Structure 1
Amino acid sequence: MGSVFRFKQFEVDQADCAMKINTDGVLMGAKAWHKEPKSILDIGTGTGVISLMLAQRFPAAVLHAVEVDEPACLRAQANFINSPFADRLQAYHCSFEQLNTGVLYDLIVSNPPFYTRSLHNPDPRKQLAKHTDMEFFTKLLYFAVHNLNTYGSLHLIIPPTLADELVEHGQKIGLFLAAVMAIKSFNDSEVFRKLIVLNREASTQVQQEELVIYQEKGRYTDAYKSLLHPFFLAF
């Protein structure tokens, strides 16, 4: 039972998943936003945790999740079936390029692999889960252009330098930065992730915010606890 992570409204079994539940994923699940999403796509769902969190937050939304790693996809689907949101969740064993649901999405989210310039992990499944190259992100941006509704948005949680590169590239193909959340471990530490929101509307005023996770070692900030309060038993 050590592989099961219990949330307030659902459980996530992480067995068979190369990438376990992590801070990036739960922040995406808690923060990604759309006014009234009817259709959501989670790219690289892994355990399925982001889809489950979004299903809890948006009770009118149907969620599709894609995962190229078959054992992880099967586990995500089992987690979906065992949740209170089973009738609104579906996992697909394929890449996002292969997905053909005929749906235009209000919200596309991804906690993607992003080690684009580092040595690859020797474990092939962890390599697939963690490592990619810029071609992956180029394809992801073009996919979003063609698969988002007119007022839909793409949400990515990635390292700051990569985020800046993707914002620049997105502008060239019609996806513009609407919001960014800079994430830091401590108040005096460097930003280690950015959650960026891209949509079709060029904005003159980008919404910017900062999230600090720890007040001190082992002690979470009130902002972090407030964000995860609807989900974490500990909060």
Structure 2
Amino acid sequence: MGSVFRFKRFDIDQSGCAMKINTDGVLLGAVAKHNHPGHILDIGTGTGVIALMLAQRFDKAKIDAVEIDPQAAERALSNFNCSSFEERLHLIQGSFECIEAPDKYDLIVSNPPFYVNSLHNPNDRKKLARHTDYLFFHNLVRFSAQALKNDGILQLILPCELALEVINIASTDGLVLAEEVKIKSYPDTEYIRSIISLTKDVTCRQVRSSSFVIYDDRGVYSQSYRDLLSSFFLAL
């Protein structure tokens, strides 16, 4: 398989990146929403796929994408520069905690590392991309609470158990759960991921909840998945 993944309106060169395009990332890129986002931040952009998907979906938005791994950041920048969305995409190499944005964000998204309390991968760069601990999420939530506009939204895709932990962490920094999309591989299997939307609106009392199934059967995408990704994937 080649290192270039071709979408309908952009290409992603993954060569040299520790973490490749995955289902979590493209689901978040397709599901993340805000009514009229003018300024978006993608934390841990990797290859840049989520940022590019959001640039395609929100044609007026400016998007900052931060990546701590120098090689991945270089590849994401190249992918941005080769796209028709180049002028609205800004790559920041480093930690999100070092960002000094002149304006606050309408939408912050992240497909973060989530191997909390697990064994570190022996490959150092993959360890950096996939391993974290709860301090990371405390810092991410605290940063987002400060960097979001009053009507801003933080959206993350996480394993279900970790999503519950992050919702609890968020409550200590003034962010509350507004919406949750629970994801399962097949109709008769357990939920494996949650996309959570956290907001500053503490008056939000009714959480919108929905479910999403990726496959109807082995190798057969559900109609919901096909509808969601049809604007991006050549095969759909």
* 217-226 or 162-171, which deviates more: 162-171
CA positional deviation for 1:72: 0.3
Map 1:89-168 onto structure 2 (within 5 A). Answer: 89-168=89-168
Structure 1's consecutive aligned runs of 4 or more residues displaced over 6 angstroms after TM superposition are none
In 1, Cα distance between equivalents of 2:149 and 2:205: 21
Residue matched to 1:230 = 231
In 2, Cα distance between equivalents of 1:9 and 1:184: 28
**2:234 corresponds to which letter in structure 1?**
L
Residue matched to 1:171 = 171
Specify the SS of the correspondent of 1:173.
coil
**2:205 corresponds to which letter in structure 1?**
T
Q: What TM-score results when the alignment is normalised by the length of structure 2?
A: 0.98
**1:36 corresponds to which letter in structure 2?**
H
What is the number of equivalent residue pairs in this alignment?
Answer: 235
Unaligned runs of 5+ in 2: none
Percent of paired sites with the same residue? 53
CA positional deviation for 1:103: 2.4
1:28-51 CA-partner distances (Å, limit 9, x unpaired): 100000000000000000000000
**1:166 corresponds to which letter in structure 2?**
V
Unaligned runs of 5+ in 1: none
In 2, Cα distance between equivalents of 1:101 and 1:13: 28
Specify the SS of the correspondent of 1:196.
strand
**1:216 corresponds to which letter in structure 2?**
D
In 1, Cα distance between equivalents of 2:132 and 2:213: 27
In 2, Cα distance between equivalents of 1:181 and 1:226: 16
**1:19 corresponds to which letter in structure 2?**
M
**2:38 corresponds to which letter in structure 1?**
K
In 2, Cα distance between equivalents of 1:153 and 1:140: 13
State whether structure 2 residue 208 is matched by structure 1 residue 207: yes
1:183-232 CA-partner distances (Å, limit 9, x unpaired): 00011111110000000113221111101001010100000110000100
In 2, Cα distance between equivalents of 1:103 and 1:6: 33
In 2, Cα distance between equivalents of 1:15 and 1:231: 20
Q: What TM-score results when the alignment is normalised by the length of structure 1?
A: 0.99
Q: Give the aligned CA root-mean-square deviation in angstroms.
A: 0.8
CA positional deviation for 1:102: 2.0
**2:126 corresponds to which letter in structure 1?**
K
Specify the SS of the correspondent of 1:193.
strand
In 1, Cα distance between equivalents of 2:150 and 2:49: 27
CA positional deviation for 1:171: 1.4
